[in-house]
Amino acid sequence: MGRLIAVTSGKGGAGKSSVSVHLATALAKLSERVLIVDLDAGMRCLDIMLGVSDRLLFDLSDVLDKNKSVQEAVISLGNLDFLPAPLKGKINPTEFSRFISEVLEDYDFIILDFPAGTVDELYTALPRYCEALVVCNADAVSLRDAAIMGADLSELNFMSVRLILNRVSFKNMQKGITANIDEVIDTSGIRLMGVVPQSMDIYMSCCSGQPLGKRTRAAKAFERIAKRVMGYDIPLMPYKKI
């Protein structure tokens, strides 16, 4: 059975979609069979970040309405299958729950890119073995949001709740502009799973739909996170802890 990972944050713009795309791509490169699902109905964006906007034919609503099978609706990118969010409307929690149980057998990982917002009925439709990754930045506003989100998710019996710290600038940490790694862990109250640098490569990749260059710091960061998610004993960061 595959592992189900919900990528979340209460506030918008923390980097959920970017983390979802680059984590899914890194897992696929490590030969895992991955399905990435855009759940941001009405505001979808993963097609742009994955560079497949001109290939869109169907979306999650076609699968939930039983017009298409998952295999017919996904866009295949090698080991990575992508299912776009509906263009409009709401995702029905009951149908969504059925869809999740159907696809679990076919993939090693299912990455769910949630829209910003508080925990709602779509979260409660998730099975108990779902794992959550809360994405946050090191500023005070984002950290408070992560702490609230982490507490709300823990009440839902998620199998695990872990933090991805995104847009990290060690210069800003050193200058005391943002929290440092220890402060991030203390304030959010969530165990840290991975650290992603502030990176022009990530920004350009999201804008252009081109994958991260293999040798970039960002690609290496996501490879480390993917391996940690897979259960390998990889240190959090290759560089000095602040």
Which spans of this chain sit near Mg ion (rule: CB under 5 A)? 16-17
**Total residues at the site for ligand ATP (CB under 6 A)?**
19
169 binds ligand ATP (CB under 6 A): no
3-class SS of residue 146: helix
C-alpha span between 218 and 128 (Å, rounded): 31
3-class SS of residue 193: strand
Q: How far is the CB of 179 from ligand ATP (least distance, A)?
A: 16
8 binds ligand ATP (CB under 6 A): no
Query: Would you state the structure tokens that stand for residue 202, as one six-digit string?
Result: 């990530």
210 binds ligand ATP (CB under 6 A): no
Q: How far is the CB of 12 from ligand ATP (least distance, A)?
A: 3
Q: Which residues of 218-235 are buried (b: 16+ CB within 10 A; e: fewer)?
A: bbebbbbbbbbbeeeebe
- Establish how many alpha carbons lie within 13 A of residue 208's alpha carbon, considering only the half-sphere containing its beta carbon: 10
Q: Which is nearer to ligand ATP, 129 or 211 (CB)?
A: 211
| Cβ 155 vs Cβ 128: under 8 Å | no
Q: Which is nearer to Mg ion, 4 or 41 (CB)?
A: 41
- Interface pick for ligand ATP out of 5, 6, 8, 15 (rule CB under 6 A): 15
Please give the residue ranges that form the binding site for ligand ATP (CB under 6 A): 9, 12-18, 40, 115-116, 166-167, 196, 198-199, 202-203, 206
